[in-house]
Structure 1
Amino acid sequence: MAEGNIQNIVTYEPADAIFVAVRNKIYMLNSNLVILSTVVTGPWGSDQCKICAKCQMKGPMNFEDTDNKVLVMDPFEHWLYSCGTSQHGICFLHEIEIQSNIAVIKETTCLYSAQFNKPYECPDCIASALGTRTVVVDKSASYFYVASTVNRSIAETYSPKSVSIRRLKSTRDGFDHSFHHLTVLPEYQDTYPINYVYSFNDQHFVYFLTVQRENLSFKSYHTRIVRLSIEDNDLQKYRELNLDCRFEYKRRRRRGLAVNPRDVAFNVLQAAHATKPGSKLAQEISARETDLVLFGVFAESHVDSMMPQKNSAVCAFPLSMINQAIDNGMNKCCSSNVHDKMLRGLMFYQHTEYCPHNGDKTGMHCETMIHLVSKQFISKLGIQ
């Protein structure tokens, strides 16, 4: 039994090992759920945290609990990354070795360089106390695609950015100090929270699933998917798309009485997983068995809140259809044949801008980041 709430889980398939993170500890278990070893990640400044001493921090090591917000495997090397809330969200690299078919942590390295980190800019500050999702991609080096929930107090001190792409240095003492990022504008950081629920990558893209307010003016919440290009290290091809999961009852009369149950929009995502569908489901959703499908558990929220009510539903979104909807939206934004006034959106990241065909005077290229609304792209589940 874990000593506290489980914060993260990741598997290491070469040795059938499972890593489970709780506050101040990471357990390594075998396939029978027997604990093989324990890595103590906090409290920071305590004698129990041996790996804390590997970080050459400036100033005293103040006593601080570590919530392990990031736990992810490297896609190429036998490395486990953990990033906690202590010391402004720094990370560790745990090198794994297999001995007699059992995984052991051979060495742990602190991914931090004191000389490159300042309160106003900290490339080695990854994890946010409010939540962080990370995807690691191998591109001759390990690139971290990071999405963090921030508020003003977090953003003003050693800020983990809202969305960033960071390259792990070959010296393994932190991340390159030059990196691309987006952060919610200061005036909205306390009033426009973005909750990151799930992350994954497929082929040329990295995806994040979010729950956030519909816009800066509305109090109601909905779900979006964010897409970043793996082929580019900047964020010019940042895209957002609304995801809509709803039940629509098929009306019919029973025993002479009209039956009209309420249609329900399940607006806030609770959990998600991307995998390939079975043959029957693939046929029902017009997908192939080889296609990746995003499955999401959605709930209907309380009014003007992201807090879920008791009812929930599962909706399936073929990833090919998501990408097609994004491409269609981009074509509409960039086409000279479209005359409807169209905003790029994302006013919490950037000032009001219109698509190029609307006479955008900023000189920004059509590939610049955009939020897309596709009213046709919804996953419906009908009940008789």
Structure 2
Amino acid sequence: AIFPYFLVPGMIKWTALLWIILWISQNARGQGLCPNSVRQQVDFNIIYQNLTYYQAEKPIQNIAINTEDKQIYIGSQNIIEGIDSHLQKIWEVKTGPIGSPDCQTCKLADVEIDPSDPVDTDNEVLLIDPTAYLFPYLYVCGSTQHGICYIIDYSQPLEKPQCLYKQWQNTQFICPDCVASPLGTRMIIVEQGATSYFFVANTVNDKVTEKYPRRSISVLRPLSTEDGFELVMSGFTVLPNLRQSYKIDYIYSFATEDFVYFLSLQREDASKSNSPFRTHLGRLPVGIHEVWMYREVVLECRYVPKRRRRETASNLAKQLGLDVGEKVLYGVFAPVSETGRIGKESMLCVFSLKQANQAIEEGVKTVISRALKPFTEQYRNTQTCMNQNATLSKPMIRERYHNMFKSS
């Protein structure tokens, strides 16, 4: 089983640069320019002097970077902080604990509070509006108060945050303004025309879906009145009989011109708690917000040792079947045991988004051509079950030089 630490989209030119550096390094050793040395363990006890830094009081859970104003926004438990280019705090907004007189967001919405819920607010979402030149907004969604969101105007951060919650349109059974899950949320904002769309992926269980429900995958649009959301796509959620036993961890999301992608980690077999883990790449079209357009493909990162001759960057790209300028996905993977324990070794894999999309389309054609009956799905629509085109399992496999990327 393979566990992905993180995945980041990029361009093949950066891949070429990386391998050029490695190629130069290897050739330099061969020519005797650089002496061979025994690999040493990283010394984490070294103290660096005179480095600029900012020390948060609690572990940082989210970061957003404002390149225009040269500011950094960090989200930790119970607080959002604005940091300038010199790493000095310039403002803060307290988001918890619930019931604390210091909390600046707790009393903005008339939300029913479950006494059994935790009072500390974990930062689940921290995103800058893509139309920042019109709306200098920072969207913040926490683990408390049923995952509702707030707007912080970072051009006037001392003003009261705006609550995205319209009381009359939310109930215990239907809650479009309940966005984030305390079990984990990945969200990305995509601008289309003059509208910002929020693509949301949540890890859920029975408790998260029972009252003020949140969905596994959904698409939202903030209302022009800036007091709530409209469900553009009602979304879909893990089947009730699997919500406690089959956990889907969403670990990353990103967007291209055509699609929004979600990276998730889940068991290979939903009926077996000890089955291997797999990394899924799911996608939704940017312009078609329909449940039946959701697709998935499995990503696999394997190492097959064999002798390779030294390659230039252009030859390496050709060997990988990549074109210059092609979008790729970088992922660092590590083996994980049946019990969920992560191994110490890791390796870097590069996936072509073009090839991933081709694999998805080929899988759809295969399913249609075989005229298969609907198979067991992990998801369901609020009205109808998803058809058999929704989940595909053709792996994208790439081999890499794992010895260059071992973790210590």
TM-score interval for Structure 1 and Structure 2 normalised by the shorter chain: 0.7 to 0.9
Q: Larger strand proportion, structure 1 or 2?
A: 1
Preserved contact between residue 261 and residue 281 of structure 2 (Cα < 8 Å): yes
Q: Tell me, what secondary structure is at the counterpart of 1:15?
A: coil
Residues 86-101 of structure 1 correspond to what in structure 2 (within 5 A)? 86-97=144-155
> Structure 2 vs 1, CA of residues 129 and 327 (structure 1 numbering), >3 Å: closer, same or farther?
same
Residue-by-residue CA offset, 1:96-149 (whole Å, 9 max, x unaligned): 32xxxxx85655210001111111111111111110000111233221110000
Q: Which amino acid in structure 2 is aligned with residue 93 of structure 1?
A: I
Selected match of 1:250 from 290, 306, 310: 306
Preserved contact between residue 45 and residue 63 of structure 1 (Cα < 8 Å): no
Residues 304-383 of structure 1 correspond to what in structure 2 (within 5 A)? 304-335=338-369, 339=370, 342=372, 345=375, 347-350=377-380, 369-375=389-395, 377-382=396-401
Selected match of 1:234 from 274, 278, 290: 290
Residue-by-residue CA offset, 1:283-332 (whole Å, 9 max, x unaligned): 45332332221101111001x23331111111111111111111111222
* Cα distance in 2 for residues equivalent to 1:72 and 1:289: 31
Preserved contact between residue 379 and residue 386 of structure 2 (Cα < 8 Å): no
Shift of 1:54: 2.4
Q: Tell me, what secondary structure is at the counterpart of 2:207?
A: helix
- The unaligned stretches of length 5 or more in structure 1 are 98-102, 253-277, 352-361
Per the alignment, residue 256 of structure 2 pairs with 202
Per the alignment, residue 70 of structure 1 pairs with 125
Q: Tell me, what secondary structure is at the counterpart of 2:208?
A: helix
> Structure 2 vs 1, CA of residues 162 and 38 (structure 1 numbering), >3 Å: closer, same or farther?
same
The worse-fitting range, judged by mean Cα deviation, of 172-181 and 84-93 is 172-181
Residue-by-residue CA offset, 1:230-266 (whole Å, 9 max, x unaligned): 11122111001000001111279xxxxxxxxxxxxxx
Per the alignment, residue 190 of structure 1 pairs with 244
Residue-by-residue CA offset, 1:134-172 (whole Å, 9 max, x unaligned): 011123322111000011111111121111111111111
Per the alignment, residue 171 of structure 2 pairs with 118
Selected match of 1:3 from 23, 33, 57: 57
Shift of 1:86: 1.1
- The unaligned stretches of length 5 or more in structure 2 are 1-54, 404-408
Residue-by-residue CA offset, 1:1-38 (whole Å, 9 max, x unaligned): 21111111111111111111110001111223221211
Q: Tell me, what secondary structure is at the counterpart of 2:394?
A: coil
TM-score under structure 2 length normalisation: 0.76
Q: How many residues align?
A: 336
TM-score under structure 1 length normalisation: 0.80
* Cα distance in 2 for residues equivalent to 1:347 and 1:176: 27
* Cα distance in 2 for residues equivalent to 1:310 and 1:383: 13
Per the alignment, residue 356 of structure 1 pairs with none
Per the alignment, residue 46 of structure 2 pairs with none
Q: Which amino acid in structure 2 is aligned with residue 308 of structure 1?
A: I
* Cα distance in 2 for residues equivalent to 1:184 and 1:365: 11
Preserved contact between residue 249 and residue 383 of structure 1 (Cα < 8 Å): no
* Cα distance in 2 for residues equivalent to 1:158 and 1:365: 23
* Cα distance in 2 for residues equivalent to 1:242 and 1:47: 47
Preserved contact between residue 291 and residue 386 of structure 2 (Cα < 8 Å): no
Matched, 1:150 2:204: yes
Per the alignment, residue 161 of structure 2 pairs with 108
Matched, 1:80 2:113: no
Matched, 1:289 2:324: yes
* Cα distance in 2 for residues equivalent to 1:125 and 1:322: 32
> Structure 2 vs 1, CA of residues 369 and 93 (structure 1 numbering), >3 Å: closer, same or farther?
farther
* Cα distance in 1 for residues equivalent to 2:228 and 2:154: 19
* Cα distance in 2 for residues equivalent to 1:44 and 1:133: 23
Per the alignment, residue 45 of structure 2 pairs with none
* Cα distance in 1 for residues equivalent to 2:362 and 2:217: 24
Shift of 1:178: 6.4
Per the alignment, residue 257 of structure 1 pairs with none
RMSD of aligned Cα (Å): 2.8
Q: Tell me, what secondary structure is at the counterpart of 1:52?
A: coil
Preserved contact between residue 364 and residue 389 of structure 2 (Cα < 8 Å): no
Q: Which amino acid in structure 2 is aligned with residue 154 of structure 1?
A: V
Q: Tell me, what secondary structure is at the counterpart of 2:154?
A: strand
Q: Which amino acid in structure 1 is aligned with residue 188 of structure 2?
A: V
Preserved contact between residue 223 and residue 230 of structure 2 (Cα < 8 Å): yes
Selected match of 1:224 from 272, 280, 291: 280
Shift of 1:350: 4.3
**Identity over aligned residues, as a percent?**
37
Q: Tell me, what secondary structure is at the counterpart of 1:126?
A: coil
Q: Which amino acid in structure 2 is aligned with residue 86 of structure 1?
A: T
Per the alignment, residue 19 of structure 2 pairs with none
Q: Which amino acid in structure 2 is aligned with residue 327 of structure 1?
A: E
> Structure 2 vs 1, CA of residues 47 and 383 (structure 1 numbering), >3 Å: closer, same or farther?
closer
